[in-house]
């Protein structure tokens, strides 16, 4: 922990490591490694074949930041994929069927420090959790309550075994293995993640949540989440993540797929707080994620809400394919970068069905030496009669060494579409600051108030607990960046 | 084919005196021969395909061609007495049609004319231009040679085969001087059976406290290709108003860059794309605030009917030292028909914190209520559409704030609008 000396300043409080016996596979990536991972996880043959197919495709691709046609506004040295471990699991992993008491007490402690109590009596009421530690899911809570209404909420590895028909039908249907470099890599080596199925007409009684933790050194986390909302169902899903402070960069490359059938609605919220690297930009997580949802059915709705405050580099575009008529997609995002962080994030809204609607609200805040880019695509296909999109992307600069970029792509192939896009970039207004200071607030408090106001439109979309956490998080992160 | 043979022929006819420049020209040609035209794989060309141009067996215009009597008459009609006129045929000055008192001279290409940044998005087209050029036209405006009327520079292509024409023009406006300039690419009706390509490179250097009003009228034949690069460099306290009209060509690419090299300059950069049938136009603007305390305003509009397609990519970059820069950008697209397509890509890259920058982009069709208003007053739907689009288009022309230029632009615009609707 390099910045212990500056005890007054904000420290990444999730930066500790857990000393626990781990079971890993040898470093490197090859077909043998994939076979080994697959064998360890005891997977059916179709999964192994899927992994191999993805791996073979991945070999034909070039890493996007190294490619000739590089488009993302991020810079990092080439990643040595042979120097990573693709599977790491705590040795004393409880069998999912067994009781909670068998979880390694060290793990329970870890999650308590993170504020995620696993033990039954301390659980946050009203939220069911799936907890992923490095490559495996170690616990899923509130199972019985969910089973009563027929909701399936378990790790994807378990789902592959217990609900193969559902998983096989939807797995890879939204993000095909050929989608992009990191999607192919994930499809080859994916470790664990959550699976959710909400049956017809069920309104999920409690919020579902997954907590991701990277602990082991030189590992990549490749989680895979699949959420299927059957006709007329509703689910609110939350995701949170942290990692220890390490000097090396760690890779996190996930795929999240959402499927909403007729009249279904999925709300997906993320507070991403991976380790960002230290003040000099050393270490931190590379967060290269493919998140995509499809509004397959009529009147279906998907919304992504994200607070991106962590990771050394973020490369993430939660998207919605609006296939069903009258379907709706939304994207609400706050991305905060500080020190030497780089973020290239945004969304894609692909309008295919009639009367489809999408809303994009993106707020970027860059401080320190960081670079923060919004990159988005709104595409109206010829079949999308009366499509409607509203996009607003605002950037705020805090500090004169930071940069903010906006790269929206708008493609319209149907003249009945109505589309508006707006973007602004500015710094905190001196008048506003002066106003607050003249009322006795100090500079830091004033800035944090103004930033919170700037982000309000997005925060209000978050579930209550997350919203409170997000406000605090932004406040803490800014504390040190404002000079 | 633009191959070694045709290049050798060209080189033989137009050798360059400077050995260094000749070497650089050879290098530019070889680069083009190896890489060819830009492809959709390149980010900057993602929405514009040149595969049709690539398939054509191009010739290079080796000399000015004699215009027929009809062609002369046709061009003369465009040469209003409100302007000074210079006419280029196949990239060569036509002395008969040009006024003699225009301060233009021709200079052989020098080493410095071959400087292009490696990451320039249209590098391949500049390689093509440099590979097949030997001179540039230099127009210098200073206290002695100030023009009391706007200057019109007309480009026409006349050839029996599919011919590609290169043009390099440099305009220098001295400190405290004024220039009103129209660059007019005109398609000859006599040439409708041939497919030509015009690759124009125009650099306008604006001196301190100088004032430039510029209009680019691209009205080539609708089977032709137009590639253009226009670059403005603004000095301290200078003023620029630019209007870029894309009316003609099957496929066109307009690259327009505005660069601030000193403080307190203002640039208004406007564009209008009006296309029908299967026309495609790609407008790429780049506003570069290298230095602070400058203002830039951009407003681009497109009106598309039939299967026409337009691409607007507006890139704004504000460097770290360009504090107090102000940049606005707006792009409005009007889709008249079902199959028309518009793509809009505003880009903001901001490295300074004390700046104001914003962009807006809209795509839509004509307001049904407005059409109904016309109908309820007994005006036909066709006429209503015509009037509303006229109104939509005209707003930008008034930005020129020069009646002579405005009237001339209107005239061209009207005839295109009447042709479409």
Residue in A with minimal Cα distance to B361: A421
DSSP string, B34-51: HH-S--TTSGGGTT---H
pLDDT level of residue A111 (50, 70, 90 thresholds): low
Residue A78: its H or E element: none
Interface with B, mutate which of A368, A410, A426, A481 (most B CBs under 10 A): A410
Mind telling me how many Å the CA of B228 is from chain A's nearest CA?
23
Asked if A356 has any chain B CB less than 8 Å from its own CB, the reply is no
- Per-residue model confidence as pLDDT tens digits over A155-167: 888 899 999 999 9
Number of A/B CB contacts below 8 angstroms equals 117
Residue among B323, B339, B357 whose CB faces A425 most closely = B357
- Please state, in angstroms and as integers, the Cα–Cα distance from residue A475 to each residue in A295, A403, B270, B384, following that order: 35, 20, 42, 55
Closest CA to A463 of A233, A271, A300: A271
| DSSP structure string for A247-269 | SSEEEE--EEEEEE-TT-EEEEE
> Nearest-CA distance from B337 to chain A in Å?
6
Residues of A (389-418) whose Cβ lies below 8 Å from B: 395, 397-418
Kindly list the residues from chain A whose CB atom is less than 8 angstroms away from the CB atom of residue B357.
424-426
User: What is the 3-state secondary structure of B93-128?
Assistant: EECCCCCCCCCEEEEECCHHHHCCCCCCCCHHHHHH
CB contact under 8 A, B348 and A423: yes
Q: Among A71, A412, A417, A431, which would you mutate to test the B interface (most chain B Cβ atoms within 10 Å of its Cβ)?
A: A412
**What is residue A68's predicted lDDT score, i.e. its pLDDT?**
75
Q: Mention every residue, 6+ apart, whose C-beta is less than 8 A from residue A458.
A: A305, A307, A332, A333, A334, A361, A363
pLDDT at A7: 34
Give the pLDDT confidence of A339-372 residue by residue, as tens digits.
Answer: 899 999 999 999 999 999 999 999 999 988 999 9
Give the DSSP per-residue string, B268-287: EEEEEEEE-TT-EEEEEEEE
Q: Could you say which of A400, A417, A420 has the minimum Cβ distance to residue B352?
A: A400
Quote the Cα angle for B335-B337-B338, to 5°: 100
- Provide, as residue numbers in chain B, all residues whose Cβ is less than 8 Å from the Cβ of A401: 320
Compare all CA atoms of chain A with the CA of B39 and give the residue at the minimum distance.
A69
Kindly determine whether residue A400 and residue B354, on different chains, have CB atoms separated by under 8 Å.
yes
**pLDDT value of residue A75:** 86
- State the pLDDT at residue A283: 85
Per-residue pLDDT at A9: 41
The whole-number pLDDT of residue A2 equals 38
Would you call B335 and A401 a contact, using CB atoms and an 8 Å cutoff?
no
φ, ψ at B143 (rounded to 5°): -55, -40
B148–chain A Cβ distance below 8 A for any pair: no
C-beta separation of A207 from A177 below 8 A: no
- Min Cα–Cα distance to chain B from A224, Å: 30
Given B335, B338, B353, which is nearest A397 (Cβ)?
B353
Q: CB distance from A421 to chain B under 8 Å? A: yes
CA distance A423 to chain B (A): 5
Of A408, A412, A418, the CB nearest to B345: A408
User: Nearest CA of chain B to the CA of A194: how many Å?
Assistant: 36
A-contacting residues in B 347-406 (Cβ below 8 Å): 347-365
Q: What is the pLDDT of residue A427?
A: 84
Whether residues A423 and B346 touch (CB distance < 8 A) is answered with yes
Upper half-sphere CA count for residue B268 (Cβ side, 13 Å): 14
> What is chain B's pLDDT, residue by residue, as a tens digit (421 residues)?
789 999 999 999 999 999 999 999 999 999 999 999 999 999 999 999 999 999 999 999 888 888 999 999 999 999 989 999 999 999 999 999 999 989 999 999 999 999 999 889 999 999 999 999 999 999 999 998 889 999 999 999 999 999 999 999 999 999 999 999 999 999 998 888 889 999 999 999 999 999 999 999 999 999 999 999 999 999 999 999 999 999 999 999 999 999 999 999 999 999 999 999 999 999 999 999 999 999 999 999 999 999 999 999 999 999 999 999 999 999 999 999 999 999 999 999 999 988 999 999 999 999 889 999 999 999 999 899 989 999 999 999 999 999 999 999 999 999 998 888 8
Give the tokens for residue A202: 């069920």
Beta bridge partners of A396: A365, A426
Number of H helices, E strands in chain A: 10, 25
Whether A415 sits inside 8 A of B338 (CB atoms) is yes
Q: What is the pLDDT of residue B339?
A: 93
Q: Which of A69, A399, A423 sits opposite B359 (nearest CB)?
A: A423
The partner residue sitting opposite A404, judged by closest CB among B350, B356, B361, is B350
Name which of B41, B336, B361 is nearest A69 (Cβ-Cβ): B41
- Using alpha carbons only, give the angle B22, B26, B27 rounded to the nearest 5 degrees: 115
Sign for the pseudo-dihedral over CA of A106, A108, A112, A114: positive
Q: How close is the nearest chain B Cα to the Cα of A71, in Å?
A: 7
Within the 57-116 window of chain B, which residues sit less than 8 Å (CB to CB) from chain A? Answer: none
Closest CA–CA distance from residue A68 to any residue of chain B (Å): 9
The minimum CA-CA distance between A352 and chain B, rounded to whole Å, is: 15
For chain A, the distance separating the N- and C-terminal CA atoms, rounded to the nearest angstrom, is: 23
Interface test with A, best of B361, B366, B367 (most A CBs within 10 A): B361
Our CA-based measurement puts residue A407 at a distance from the nearest CA of chain B, in whole angstroms, of 5
Q: Quick one: CA torsion of A315, A320, A321, A323, rounded to 10 degrees? A: 180
pLDDT digits (tens, 9 = 90+) for A218-233: 677 888 999 999 999 9
The answer to whether residue B119 neighbours chain A at the CB level (below 8 Å) is: no
pLDDT of residue A100: 54
DSSP SS3 for B67: coil
> Chain B residue with minimal CA distance to A400?
B353
The interaxial angle of helices A45-59 and A31-40, nearest 10 deg, is 150
- Contact B356/A405, CB-based, under 8 Å? no
Which secondary structure element, helix H or strand E, spans residue A217, and what is its range?
Answer: none
Q: Write the residue in A71, A414, A421 that is nearest to B43 by C-beta.
A: A71
What distance in Å separates the CA atoms of residue B157 and residue A441, rounded to the nearest whole number? 69
Nearest CA-CA distance, residue B284 and chain A, Å:
13
Q: Does A382 touch chain B (CB under 8 A)?
A: yes
Residues of A in contact with B341 (CB under 8 A): 411-413
What is the band of A127 on the pLDDT scale with cuts at 50, 70, 90? low
**Does the model's ipTM exceed the 0.85 cut?**
no
> Mean pLDDT over residues A21-32, rounded?
85
Residues of B in contact with A417 (CB under 8 A): 335, 363-364
Q: pLDDT-based confidence at A135, cuts 50/70/90?
A: low
Close Cβ partners of A386 (under 8 Å, ≥ 6 residues apart):
A354, A355, A416, A417, A418
Task: Kindly report the average pLDDT of chain A as a whole number.
Answer: 85
**Which conformational region is residue A91 in: left (phi greater than 0), alpha (psi within -120 to 50 degrees), or beta?**
alpha
Residue of B nearest to A366 (CA): B353
Per-residue model confidence as pLDDT tens digits over A393-449: 999 988 888 899 999 999 999 999 999 999 988 888 888 889 999 999 988 888 888
In chain A, what residues touch B356 (CB-CB under 8 Å)? 424-426
Residue A246 Ramachandran class (φ > 0 left, ψ -120 to 50 alpha, else beta): beta
User: Shortest CA distance to A305 belongs to which of A281, A339, A271?
Assistant: A271
| Interface probe, candidates B349, B355, B365, B371, chain A, greatest A C-beta count within 10 A | B349
A413–chain B nearest CA distance, Å: 5
Sorting pLDDT into bands at 50, 70 and 90, what band is A64? Answer: confident
pLDDT at position B38:
96
Asked whether residue A245 carries a pLDDT value surpassing 80, the answer given is no
What is the predicted pLDDT for the residue at A273? 83
* CB–CB contact B343 A410 (8 Å): yes
The predicted pLDDT at position A90 comes to 73
- Which residues 50-69 of A are in CB contact (within 8 Å) with B? 69
In tens, the pLDDT along A259-271 reads 999 999 999 998 8
Model confidence, pTM: 0.87
Helix (H) or strand (E) holding B394: helix B381-397
Contacts of B320 in chain A (CB under 8 A): 400-401, 403
Please classify residue A403 by burial: count the beta carbons closer than 10 Å to its beta carbon, then call 0-12 exposed, 13-18 middle and 19+ buried: buried
């Amino acid at each position: 922990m390099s910045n212990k000396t500056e005890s007054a300043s904000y420290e990444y409080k999730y930066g500790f490591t857990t000393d626990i016996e781990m079971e890993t596979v040898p470093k490197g990536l090859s077909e043998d490694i994939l076979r080994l991972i697959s064998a360890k996880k005891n997977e059916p043959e179709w999964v192994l074949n899927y992994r191999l197919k993805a791996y073979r495709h991945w070999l034909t691709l070039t890493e996007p930041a190294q490619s000739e046609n590089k488009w993302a506004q991020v810079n990092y040295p080439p990643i040595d994929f042979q120097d990573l471990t693709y599977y790491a699991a705590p040795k004393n992993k409880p069998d999912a069927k067994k009781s909670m008491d068998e979880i390694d007490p060290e793990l329970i402690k870890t999650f308590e420090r993170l504020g995620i109590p696993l033990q039954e009596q301390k659980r946050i009421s009203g939220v069911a959790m799936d907890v992923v530690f490095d490559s495996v899911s170690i616990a899923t809570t509130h199972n019985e309550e969910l089973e009563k209404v027929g909701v399936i909420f378990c790790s994807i590895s378990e789902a592959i075994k217990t609900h193969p028909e559902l998983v096989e039908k939807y797995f890879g249907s939204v993000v095909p293995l050929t989608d992009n470099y990191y999607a192919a890599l994930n499809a080859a080596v994916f470790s664990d993640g959550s699976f959710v199925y909400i049956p017809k007409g069920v309104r999920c009684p409690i919020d579902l949540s997954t907590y991701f933790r990277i602990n082991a050194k030189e590992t990549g986390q490749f989680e895979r989440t699949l959420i299927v909302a059957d006709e007329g169902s509703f689910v609110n899903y939350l995701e949170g993540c942290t990692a220890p402070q390490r000097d090396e960069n760690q890779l996190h490359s996930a795929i999240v797929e959402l499927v909403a059938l007729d009249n279904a609605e999925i709300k997906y919220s993320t507070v991403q707080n991976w380790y960002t690297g230290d003040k000099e930009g050393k270490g931190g997580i590379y967060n290269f994620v493919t998140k995509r949802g499809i509004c397959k059915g009529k009147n279906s709705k998907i919304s992504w809400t994200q607070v991106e405050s962590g990771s050394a580099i973020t490369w993430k575009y939660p998207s919605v394919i609006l296939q069903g008529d009258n379907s709706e997609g939304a994207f609400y995002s706050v991305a905060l970068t500080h020190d030497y962080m780089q973020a290239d994030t945004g969304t894609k809204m692909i309008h295919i069905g009639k009367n489809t609607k999408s809303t994009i609200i993106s707020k970027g805040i860059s401080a320190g030496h960081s670079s923060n880019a919004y990159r988005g695509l709104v595409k109206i296909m010829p079949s999308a009669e009366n499509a409607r999109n509203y996009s607003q992307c605002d950037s705020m600069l805090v500090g004169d060494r930071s940069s903010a970029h906006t790269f929206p792509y708008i493609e319209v192939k149907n003249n009945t579409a109505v589309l508006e896009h707006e973007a602004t970039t500015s710094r905190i207004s001196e008048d506003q600051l002066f106003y607050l200071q003249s009322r006795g607030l100090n500079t830091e408090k004033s800035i944090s108030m103004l930033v919170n106001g700037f982000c309000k439109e997005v925060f209000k979309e978050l579930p209550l607990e997350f919203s409170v956490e997000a406000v605090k998080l932004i406040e803490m992160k800014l504390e040190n960046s404002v000079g | 084919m633009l191959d070694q043979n045709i290049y050798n022929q060209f080189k033989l006819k137009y050798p360059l005196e400077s050995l260094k420049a000749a070497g650089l020209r050879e290098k530019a040609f070889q680069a083009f021969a190896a890489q060819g035209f830009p492809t959709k794989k390149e980010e900057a060309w993602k929405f514009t395909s040149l595969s049709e141009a690539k398939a054509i067996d191009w010739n290079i215009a080796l000399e000015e061609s004699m215009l027929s009597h009809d062609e002369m008459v046709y061009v003369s009609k465009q040469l209003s007495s409100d302007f000074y006129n210079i006419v280029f045929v196949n990239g060569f000055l036509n002395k008969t049609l040009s006024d003699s008192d225009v301060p233009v001279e021709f200079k052989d290409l020098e080493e410095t004319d071959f400087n292009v940044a490696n990451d320039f998005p249209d590098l391949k087209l500049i390689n093509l231009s440099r590979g097949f050029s030997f001179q540039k036209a230099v127009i210098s405006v200073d206290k002695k040679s100030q023009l009391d009327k706007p200057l019109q520079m007309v480009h026409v292509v006349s050839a029996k085969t599919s011919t590609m024409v290169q043009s390099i023009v440099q305009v220098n406006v001295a400190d405290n001087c004024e220039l009103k300039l129209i660059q007019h690419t005109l398609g000859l009706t006599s040439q409708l059976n041939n497919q030509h390509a015009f690759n124009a490179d125009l650099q306008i250097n604006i001196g301190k406290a100088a004032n430039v009003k510029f209009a680019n009228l691209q009205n080539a034949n609708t089977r032709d290709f137009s590639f253009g690069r226009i670059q403005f460099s603004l000095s301290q306290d200078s003023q620029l108003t630019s209007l870029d009209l894309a009316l003609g060509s099957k496929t066109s690419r307009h690259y327009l860059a505005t660069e601030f090299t000193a403080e307190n300059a203002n640039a208004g950069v406007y564009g209008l794309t009006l296309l029908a049938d299967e026309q495609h136009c790609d407008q790429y603007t780049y506003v570069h605030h290298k230095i602070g305390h400058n203002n830039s305003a951009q407003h681009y509009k497109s009106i598309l009917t039939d299967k026409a397609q337009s691409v607007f990519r507006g890139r704004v970059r504000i460097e770290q030292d360009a504090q107090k820069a102000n940049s606005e950008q707006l792009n409005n697209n009007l889709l008249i028909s079902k199959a028309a397509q518009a793509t809009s890509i505003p880009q903001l890259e901001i490295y300074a914190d004390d700046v104001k920058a914003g962009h807006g982009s809209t795509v839509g069709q004509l307001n049904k209520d407005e059409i109904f208003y016309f109908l309820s007053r007994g005006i036909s739907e066709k006429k209503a559409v015509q009037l509303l689009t006229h109104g939509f288009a005209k707003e930008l022309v008034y930005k020129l704030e020069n009646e002579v230029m405005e009237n001339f632009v209107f005239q061209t615009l009207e005839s295109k609008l009447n042709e479409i609707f």
